[in-house]
């Protein structure tokens, strides 16, 4: 069984998070050479009986999909993490479980992230959409762009809106979910739902009993029952970092935790790298906009978090989008992945130079890091002003926000 990549995502609710903000964060640990892109899709109406092509299979489309912004491995359809226009955020974690994941191509956990965002106006609606699709189509297929082996995993999800969060953990078509509205919570590559189960697959317990994993009358602890024998371990470092904080968790706190390599939250190993990161700010006051900060580049300790706000006329950012290969894409042809095309987008290419300079630990690297952090600070301060204002942001100004930040970053690197 392949070992799940050591990603993590977490959420903090008021009063642990300051200023009435729900804070959501995610580091995506993926194969080192994989490119992630940040892509916006506007809300759309769809014809009756139309289908949507996901990574490996197609599913029935719904009459209307919400606007979404996602960070995704450039070769697939779905998303590692993202948000929609209604303030719903979802992150996916690949997990190992007692039952091996199917290698048969079906929906990937990452497909279900995007489908949940496109179909759910609340966290609970997104959860319901995901489990319905899971029941109909199942999950399975290669999580990596790799022709040499099929790396398949079960999936867990952190689904958050302005009022509540759900941890949804799946094993095949079976699942359990826990709801919470306070404190902090981390989700990583291990099952974490235990006995506090607020929703579950109707046949979950009978299936566990049929496998000899649980006896009726015993306490039903989902993670203990469905974790592999050697895999029921405590995690994660991000949750521990948040737990040590009092009631002063801020946007900067989340960014700092995502950048922490010493704790293991920021992965930089021989096999895996944090290839993209996000922090989302969800004000519980609905008059304030949600703000989503994406890196679009690897290693958050050497990247700039750039803000995005949903408005009706968002300016598309081609510089964070990878090249398209159409039906000639090796990810779409069978047998898959026989070639690996260059998927680097313009921001990724510019950032490669910055990573090299920063890794040198010379005077130029220190000066570059200082300037990058100053650029990021300017963006954070501008967003704090928007959150503190009683007036809604000007759509004409924030529609170009992410575009302008990416453009400035690229020009600076050049």
Gap between the Cα atoms of 63 and 221, Å rounded: 38
The CB density around residue 102, as the number of other CB atoms within 10 Å, is 16
Sign, CA dihedral 207-208-214-217, equals negative
From residue 132, alpha-carbon distances to 60, 110, 138, 303 in Å are 12, 15, 10, 37
Structure tokens at 247: 């009631």
Gap between the Cα atoms of 21 and 160, Å rounded: 12
Sheet containing 306-308, strands listed edge to edge, beginning at the edge strand earlier in sequence: 184-188, 8-12, 21-31, 272-283, 291-294, 306-308
From residue 271, alpha-carbon distances to 47, 51, 56, 374 in Å are 43, 36, 25, 31
Positions annotated as catalytic residues are 9
Structure tokens at 304: 């700039």
Structure tokens at 263: 């704790």
Gap between the Cα atoms of 400 and 311, Å rounded: 10
Q: Which helix (H) or strand (E) holds 382?
A: helix 363-388
Q: Where are the beta strands (DSSP E) in 74-220?
A: 81-84, 89-95, 154-160, 165-171, 174-180, 184-188, 199-200
Q: Could you tell me if 311 and 401 are in contact, meaning their C-beta atoms sit under 8 angstroms apart?
A: no
Sheet containing 199-200, strands listed edge to edge, beginning at the edge strand earlier in sequence: 36-41, 68-73, 81-84, 89-95, 154-160, 165-171, 174-180, 199-200
């Amino acid at each position: 069984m392949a070992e799940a990549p050591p990603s993590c995502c977490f959420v903090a609710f008021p009063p642990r998070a300051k200023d009435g903000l729900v804070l959501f964060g995610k580091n995506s640990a993926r194969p080192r050479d994989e490119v992630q892109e940040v892509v916006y899709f506007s809300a759309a109406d769809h014809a009756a009986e139309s289908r949507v092509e996901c990574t490996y299979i197609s599913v029935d489309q719904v009459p209307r999909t919400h606007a979404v912004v996602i960070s995704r491995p450039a070769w697939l359809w779905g998303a590692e993490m993202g948000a929609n226009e209604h303030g719903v955020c979802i992150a996916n974690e690949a997990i190992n479980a007692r039952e091996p994941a199917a290698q048969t191509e079906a929906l990937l956990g990452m497909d279900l992230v995007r489908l949940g965002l496109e179909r759910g106006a609340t966290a609970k609606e997104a959860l319901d959409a995901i489990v319905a699709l899971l029941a109909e189509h199942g999950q399975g297929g290669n999580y990596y762009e790799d022709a040499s082996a099929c790396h398949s995993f079960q999936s867990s999800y952190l689904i958050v809106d302005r009022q509540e969060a759900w941890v949804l953990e799946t094993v095949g078509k079976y699942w359990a979910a826990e709801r919470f509205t306070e404190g902090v919570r981390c989700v990583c590559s291990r099952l974490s739902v235990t006995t506090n189960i607020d929703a579950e697959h109707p046949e979950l317990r009978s299936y566990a009993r049929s496998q000899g994993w649980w006896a009726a009358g015993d306490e039903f602890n989902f993670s203990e029952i469905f974790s592999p024998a050697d895999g029921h371990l405590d995690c994660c470092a991000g949750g521990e970092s948040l737990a040590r904080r009092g009631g002063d968790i801020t946007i900067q706190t989340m960014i700092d935790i995502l950048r922490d390599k010493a704790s293991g939250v920021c992965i930089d190993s021989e096999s895996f790298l944090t290839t993209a990161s996000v922090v989302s700010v969800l004000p519980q006051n609905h008059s304030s906009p949600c703000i989503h900060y994406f890196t679009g580049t690897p290693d958050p300790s050497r990247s700039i978090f750039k803000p995005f706000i949903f408005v009706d006329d968002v300016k598309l950012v081609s510089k964070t989008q990878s090249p398209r290969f159409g039906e000639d894409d090796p990810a779409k042809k069978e047998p898959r992945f026989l070639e690996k095309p260059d998927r680097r987008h313009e921001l990724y290419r510019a950032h490669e130079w910055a990573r090299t300079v920063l890794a040198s630990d010379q005077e130029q690297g220190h000066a570059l890091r200082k300037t990058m952090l100053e650029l990021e600070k300017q963006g954070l301060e501008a967003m704090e002003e928007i959150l503190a204002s009683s007036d809604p942001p000007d759509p004409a100004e924030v529609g170009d926000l992410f575009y302008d930040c990416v453009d400035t970053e690229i020009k600076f690197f050049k």
